[in-house]
Amino acid sequence: MYVTLYDFFKSNAESITEDWYARLGMHKGGVYGTEDPDEIATLKEQNLRFHHIFIELFNDESVLEDETFQRWLDEVTSDEAHLNTLLPEVVEEFLNNQQIYLDYLHTYLQHHGDDFTLNDYQTYIQKITDTFQRVVVLYSKKSQQKSKQFILAQTELINELSSPVIQLNHDISLLPLVGEINTERAKVIVSNTIKFCAEYEVTCLLVDLSGVSHIDTMVASQLSELIQGLRLIGTRTSLSGIRPEIAQTAVQLGIKFTSYNIYPSIAQALANLDFTTIDV
């Protein structure tokens, strides 16, 4: 009974997935090295869905432009396990899948290839290799895009979590700044702090800088903008923990903190500050 190459691949889709997984090396990294049964099941399911899509290539030439493939591509490149897998390893597995298709093509020809010419054989080989090349390019571009989005989201989250405003009572809040403050983080601090103080009607904010060892001129300007912005919404600012290096940068910029209550540490501020900060 004659079986088309399309039907042959389609009937063997699950076998292709199992063959691929069986060929995974012992020392694979990322998603391919997992020993978690649930993760393995997900990996195989993703691989099998790829084959169902890829096999349609032998029935429909526009398979890679199809929405089904685009959804698969978006899902896999958004998957945390694949995001944590080096791109060269993913590419290697695409090439391993390519080789499996070439092996299955050879098997098909042995059993059903009586009407195949050498030109037919070369045409199918070219179709398989060309398509996998396009798949690798599309995956690489989408993966790079997703990685950038993931890193950006993580950076924004870290910036937000690393500049929390702590409400001490109804009127008074504390902003403890710790670690390196770059320009991007400084902008997040200014935006989030002003928003918080306006929303909770903070009367006085104590900004502690004891955990910051260095700020550049741009960040110092952002700090000045924060203080001015808080003043405009009715929040008075007190400072604590200003290190000599930060004080020197402020002097060089001409930023004057003489109109604000300044304390050596949070403890001294909380012990002595009566929160009747000078209005400016």
Helix, strand, or coil here: 210? strand
pLDDT digits (tens, 9 = 90+) for 201-229: 888 899 888 888 777 777 777 888 888 89
Question: Residue range 243-263: average pLDDT?
Answer: 75
pLDDT at 131 over 70: yes
CA pair distance 49, 76, nearest whole angstrom: 11
Which two three-digit tokens encode residue 13?
């889709």
pLDDT at 278 over 50: no
- C-beta separation of 237 from 277 below 8 A: yes
What interhelical angle do 13-22 and 87-112 show, nearest 10?
130
> pLDDT > 90: what percent of the chain?
35
Helix, strand, or coil here: 167? strand
Going from the C-alpha of 126 to that of each of 48, 102, 165, 170, 180, the distances in angstroms are 22, 10, 61, 72, 54
Q: Helix, strand, coil proportions of the chain in percent (round to 5)?
A: 65, 10, 25
Q: What is the pLDDT of residue 26?
A: 67
CA pair distance 131, 37, nearest whole angstrom: 31
CA pair distance 67, 231, nearest whole angstrom: 53
Beta strands in the chain (DSSP E): 166-167, 172-178, 204-211, 236-240, 261-263
Q: What is the pLDDT of residue 280?
A: 38
Task: Indicate the pLDDT class of residue 39, thresholds 50, 70 and 90.
Answer: very high
Which two three-digit tokens encode residue 38?
């649930």
pTM of the model: 0.60
Which two three-digit tokens encode residue 158?
């870290």
- C-beta separation of 50 from 38 below 8 A: no
CA pair distance 18, 111, nearest whole angstrom: 21
Residue 264 gets which letter from DSSP?
Answer: S
Q: What is the mean pLDDT of the chain?
A: 84
